[in-house]
Amino acid sequence: MSDAAASPTPEPARRRGVTRRRLLGAAGAVGAAGLAGGGYAVGAAVADDGPGARHGATVPFHGEHQAGIATPAQDRLVFAAFDLLTEDVAQVRELLQIWTHAAEQLTAGRAVGTLAGNDGEPPEDTGEAHELPASRLTLTFGFGPSFFVVDGEDRLGLARRRPEPLRPLGPLPGDQLDPARSDGDLCVQACSDDPQVAFHAVRNLARLGRGVVVLRWTQLGFGRTSTTSRSQATPRNLMGFKDGTNNIRAEDAGKMARHVWVGADEPQRWMRGGSYLVARRIRMLIESWDRAAIDEQERVIGRRKVSGAPLGREHELDAVDLRAAGADGRPLIDVDAHVRLASQDAKDGIPLLRRGYSFTDGIEPRTGQLDAGLFFIAYQRDPHRQFAALQRRLGTTDALNEYIKHVGSGLFAVPGGVRPGGWIAEGLFARA
Amino acid sequence: MSDAAASPTPEPARRRGVTRRRLLGAAGAVGAAGLAGGGYAVGAAVADDGPGARHGATVPFHGEHQAGIATPAQDRLVFAAFDLLTEDVAQVRELLQIWTHAAEQLTAGRAVGTLAGNDGEPPEDTGEAHELPASRLTLTFGFGPSFFVVDGEDRLGLARRRPEPLRPLGPLPGDQLDPARSDGDLCVQACSDDPQVAFHAVRNLARLGRGVVVLRWTQLGFGRTSTTSRSQATPRNLMGFKDGTNNIRAEDAGKMARHVWVGADEPQRWMRGGSYLVARRIRMLIESWDRAAIDEQERVIGRRKVSGAPLGREHELDAVDLRAAGADGRPLIDVDAHVRLASQDAKDGIPLLRRGYSFTDGIEPRTGQLDAGLFFIAYQRDPHRQFAALQRRLGTTDALNEYIKHVGSGLFAVPGGVRPGGWIAEGLFARA
């Protein structure tokens, strides 16, 4: 690429230039081989007629919005945050072009290049997903506040392109954040029904970014966990409760437009059709929770454990009635119950599109307790008026706080979708 | 239980006594409800006719051998090592009885007790696997050398029952072991096609063991990763190579008897029908590997990457010909290729039953590199003549050593199977 000549660090740029030429050259051949071998057509619509069809399906990469937001949640998550190693905007732009090409291949169930090397070069794809279906892989890219400005410094010359809502969330009540699991200049959310496919994608994106970005933190998660048990329509979290009953439905275009998608009124054109991603690593204090009586657990959540019904109601999908009172005149749903404070339906409700995954990362060395909980991802138009406002409310009064800790946090601007022939966040780099 | 009265720590024993009575009482009711709700019959044979049947199936807990050894590998692993908190053998025996009962329920797709509590007690099951099929869950229990003797001290009065092969493996070439990811007094290998089911099992076993054992380390892993892609018959590891081509077939009763199962010649009767489990956390130096040319990768392994064929052959299942030479007279399979040194077929080959799972545990903070690799589990009759002998050979000369590090290790004696009405390692506690 011509940009490579201007690079202050010619070696990685040259390497990436070679890689990119290879990728672009190899794409046709790999694609053709994939089709000949009964592979997956690019942009085939998702079929969800059964576990088989579901696993083999692909989700189109191109569109008005990035995939992975309104896409029905896949079973597995690999989330990766990256830090920039360069101040050269041309290198970053080139990386996003390379990532776009790789994402087009990966989400279509193809390798990012040849599994064999050429001329003694390393293989262009690491190979562990060879012959595995895409399993609805989506790759969703975002930009943190620190991508634009660090300590007041306009590190890439793009500060004027930073959208107004992309400013740090600031301290929130109950924060116990670990910097090693928080923030990041860029992020990739990889979701797939197959963990090896999601891991393979992040690993190869990291590999293609070598010299320009470095992994800062990653998080694995699992959501819906059985391909056959459709009776468990709403997955249970690690507290044993159904989680996500009252989420915004992605099919509800009106709510999505009002609460999730950045609209045409956003002055930063590159963010139109995009959204803001808030990620929170929420550690559950499993051992304390497991010692709580069922009445206490249900009081804290405000729902029945087995059925998922709101207290005072019978069925999971029954509306939450925050005014219902028992014979003693006290509210059936406690004043500090999680479902009351987090309700999206109440008149002061704050709607968010949630995409939560359970995680379990072994033992906390200090205490011997399980390091497990919920990796909470929310999409919204305005993270300050939505997630942060909600968390300020929950963080001070939610009965659940006794059993959880927020230990990681990230905020990322997720630009609109990529058109065929375009690349991720293209408008961010457009000459004004 | 009557043993509880003799306990030096009455509170946990009482709690467990209550729990156990509840468990035993609740089992019938829960089982009946499960059947009424279309649940899973106890001990139903495994059907493997398709992804659906496979996920819903149960593997019988009872039998001559513990399940999870000869059982075809499930897709997901949660491995847990525990340390003892007590020197009271009665408490340990009681725990194994409680664990047996819980394992019978869990592997049959049932809760370990009521999801609701009784009399203000906490729920007897944490609930996150409610309505999830067992997904072929197996729970395999083992005993480390430190269960019997620590610093020469017979901690439970069972030292005379320690089988001779259960002595520490000692330092092996290339060991870079982290004590926090090694050893343990007891272990549980939970395998299932559903990660939430496997996690639920380990979590509830840990909960039932409170006061008697504490988690020392855990490891999550994934193996076969797609329920639909049967074309990938042999799963690929994170180096992108097919892994496990030449494993012992569990159907090969002759080889299993010769190399895996402890025989009738074992003086410790409780170990007959059992095996020895060696677990190794093998970190792959992913970034170095990904920079190696394909020729180097294939030379190191001794197989082709895409096809899995041994060098010089065409198909994955072709026999490895260690004597084949190229036109230049040099061996096609290098003298230090992994497949040559690890070959089970060579005249000095060392057969093991392998059960490997890939892992990825985020970023190594110091280097920013992926902490990922292979969690290697091997079953064998004699860990010193089998795994340790093999590792002494591999550890000094294997070309693969440039790209891997052994960072965790565990050795456990896995007793024979449990008969209906019996409990895990019952014979270990029998009065002589």
**Per residue in B79-113, pLDDT tens?**
999 999 999 999 999 999 999 999 999 999 999 99
Question: CA B80 to CA B73: how far, in whole Å?
Answer: 17
Per-residue pLDDT of chain A (432 residues; tens, 9 = 90+): 333 333 333 333 334 443 444 444 433 333 333 322 222 333 333 333 334 344 569 999 999 999 999 999 998 999 999 999 999 999 999 999 999 999 999 999 999 998 887 778 899 999 999 989 999 999 999 999 999 999 999 999 999 999 999 999 989 998 999 999 999 999 999 999 999 999 999 999 999 999 999 999 999 999 866 544 444 478 899 999 998 877 888 889 999 999 999 999 999 999 999 999 999 999 999 999 999 999 999 999 999 999 999 999 999 989 888 899 999 999 999 999 999 988 877 777 889 999 999 999 988 877 778 999 999 999 999 999 999 999 999 988 999 999 999 999 999 999 999 999 999 999 999 876
Interface contact A122-B361, CB threshold 8 A? no
Query: Which A residues 118-137 touch B at CB under 8 Å?
Result: 120-123, 125-133, 135
Instruction: Give the whole-angstrom CA distance, residue B198 versus residue B222.
Output: 11
Question: Is B29 near chain A, with CB under 8 Å?
Answer: no
Most confident of B42-46, B267-271, B311-315: B267-271
d(CA B188, CA B77) in angstroms, rounded, equals 10
Query: Helices then strands (H, E): number in chain B?
Result: 10, 11
Q: Which residues of B touch A136 (CB under 8 A)?
A: none
Q: Tell which of B135, B227, B296, B316 to mutate to test the A interface (max A CBs under 10 Å).
A: B227
Please check whether residue A33 touches B, CB under 8 A: no
Backbone conformation region of residue A300, classed left if phi is above 0, alpha if psi is from -120 to 50, else beta:
alpha
What tokens appear for B215 in the block?
């988690």
Residue B372: which H helix or E strand, with range? strand B370-380
* Residue B11 pLDDT class (50, 70, 90 cuts): very low
Inform me whether the C-beta atom of residue A293 falls under 8 Å from chain B C-beta atoms.
yes
- The CA-atom distances, in angstroms, between B106 and each of B42, B59, B125, B199 are 10, 11, 10, 11
Interface of B with A in 298-337 (CB under 8 A): 305-306
Lowest mean pLDDT among B164-173, B186-195, B362-371: B362-371
What pLDDT shows up at residue A411?
98
Which chain B residues are Cβ-neighbours of A217 within 8 angstroms?
362-363
In B, which residues are within 8 Å of A360 by CB distance?
78, 199, 218, 220
CB atoms within 10 A of CB A249: 12
The contacts of residue A307 (CB under 8 Å, 6+ apart) are: A314, A315, A316
Judged by DSSP in three states, A371 sits in: strand
Q: In the predicted model, what is the mean pLDDT of chain B? A: 85
* pLDDT score for A432: 60
**φ, ψ for residue B94, nearest 5 deg:** -65, -40
Among chain B residues, CA nearest to A235? B128
Residue B405: pLDDT band (50, 70, 90) is very high
B332 close to B324: Cβ distance less than 8 angstroms: yes
CA distance B373 to chain A (A): 12
Distance from CA of B86 to the nearest CA of A (A): 16
Predicted confidence at residue B117, as pLDDT, reads 74
End-to-end CA distance of chain B: 22
The label of the residue with tokens 């306990």 reads B7
- Cβ distance of A226 and B295 shorter than 8 Å: no
Quick: pLDDT tens for B142-151: 999 999 999 9
CB of A221 closer than 8 Å to CB of A77: yes
| SS3 label, residue A399 | helix
In the 8-state DSSP scheme, what is residue B385?
A: I
Contact assessment for residue A122 and residue A54, using Cβ atoms and an 8 Å cutoff: no
- Contact across the interface for A225 and B122, Cβ inside 8 Å: no
Structure tokens at B348: 């000095």
User: Which of B122, B197, B231 is closest, CB to CB, to A290?
Assistant: B122
A208: left (phi over 0), alpha (psi -120 to 50) or beta: alpha
Q: What is the pLDDT of residue A15?
A: 40
Any residues with CB less than 8 A from the CB of A58 and at least 6 apart, and which? A40, A41, A42, A43, A44, A46, A107, A108, A109, A134, A136, A137
Quick check: B241 and A127 CB within 8 A?
yes
Q: Token digits for B350?
A: 């060392």
CB–CB contact B294 A122 (8 Å)? yes
pLDDT at residue B226, rounded to an integer: 54
Q: Give the whole-angstrom CA distance, residue B374 versus residue B271.
A: 28
What local confidence, expressed as pLDDT, does residue A56 receive? 61
Alpha carbon distance A286, B48 (integer Å): 35
Mean pLDDT of B69-75: 92
CB-closest option in B195, B218, B237 to A363: B218
How is residue B107 written in tokens? 């592997």
Task: Report pLDDT digits (tens) over B352-391.
Answer: 999 999 999 988 877 778 999 999 999 999 999 999 999 9
Alpha helices in A164-307 (DSSP H): 195-208, 253-255, 286-291, 294-301
Place of tokens 């093998």: B282
- Token readout for A314 is 């019978």
Contact check, Cβ <8 Å, B225/A194:
yes
Contact A362 B361 (CB under 8 A): yes
Amino acid at position B363, single letter: I
- Angle at which helix B195-208 crosses helix B89-107, to 10 degrees, equals 150
Cβ(A99)–Cβ(A202) below 8 Å: no
Q: Which residues of A fall within a CB distance of 8 Å from B290? A: 122-123, 126, 207
Task: In chain A, count H helices and then E strands.
Answer: 10, 11
Comparing CA positions, the residue from A196, A204, A154 lying closest to residue A19 is A204
Q: Are A198 and A191 in contact (CB under 8 A)?
A: yes
> Would you give the DSSP letter of residue A105?
H
Distance, CA of B278 to chain centre:
8
Residues of chain B contacting residue A197, judged by C-beta atoms under 8 Å apart? 225-226
Taking alpha carbons only, the member of B93, B71, B82, B80 closest to residue B13 is: B93
Tell me, what's the pLDDT at A229?
Answer: 41
Where are any strands of DSSP class E within B171-315?
186-192, 213-222, 275-284
Q: Tens digit of pLDDT for each residue in B227-255?
A: 444 444 788 999 999 988 778 888 899 99
CB contact under 8 A, B132 and A225: yes
User: A199 — contact with chain B (CB < 8 Å)?
Assistant: yes
- Residue A288 near chain B (CB below 8 Å): no
Is the Cβ of A179 closer than 8 Å to some Cβ of chain B? no
Q: Give pLDDT, residue B284.
A: 96
